[in-house]
Amino acid sequence: METSNSHLVGVAIPTLRQLRAAILVSANSTDAVEALRASGYAGGDSIYSAFEHWLREAGESGDADAGALPLSEFGSKASTFFRDAGWGDVRFSHDDDEDVAIIDIVDCWEGSHGESQDDPGCQLTTGMLAAFFGKIAGYPVAVLETECCHGDSSRCRFLMGNSEVMSYKWQELQQAT
């Protein structure tokens, strides 16, 4: 299998949104969510490669090892990369008490912004983030979208941690609703 950066293609957001909507109407919601998340996950490695390539092009990282960047520097670089690639305005922070990473995306490309009542949230993005950050962490990470297009700023919030922590967060969330 080829492993170059040619694995990225500039598909227009309306095309992706329409594909996503088609999947949502053609399968039951559990299967559709699973399919979207798996599709996002499938692309995570390629996006990670593109990120390393981008770091190298920018001359920011000699060995282009994204995992070796200091955390604050990694956050600002990754924000710029994701924003320029059209994902939205991405911010990283960390909840020290809960030991989870927080990823906020303002104007996430995938958010429904209230267009659809039963939209399952940003599942492609959730899958992609899990693969991308799993690659950096070197172990499987779980990602959970806890707020979708929330508030005036239309922010989506994703929590990320190891699967144990995240399944606990998920249960907490289920109990709250």
Q: Does 122 bind Zn ion (CB under 5 A)?
A: yes
Task: Tell the smallest beta-carbon distance from residue 48 to Zn ion (Å).
Answer: 21
Q: Does 120 bind Zn ion (CB under 5 A)?
A: no
Q: Does 159 bind Zn ion (CB under 5 A)?
A: no
Residue 33 CB-half CA count within 13 A: 11
Q: Which residue has the tokens 């991308």?
A: 132
Q: Does 148 bind Zn ion (CB under 5 A)?
A: yes
Task: Tell the smallest beta-carbon distance from residue 93 to Zn ion (Å).
Answer: 17
Binding mask 54-93 for Zn ion (x = CB under 5 A): ----------------------------------------
Four-residue CA torsion sign, 125, 50, 167, 107: negative
Is 90 in contact with 79 (CB distance < 8 Å)?
yes
Beta bridge partners of 71: none
Q: Which residue has the tokens 């009542």?
A: 117
Binding mask 94-113 for Zn ion (x = CB under 5 A): --------------x--x--
Q: Which residue has the tokens 């941690």?
A: 161
Number of residues that bind Zn ion (CB under 5 A): 6
Beta bridge partners of 145: 158
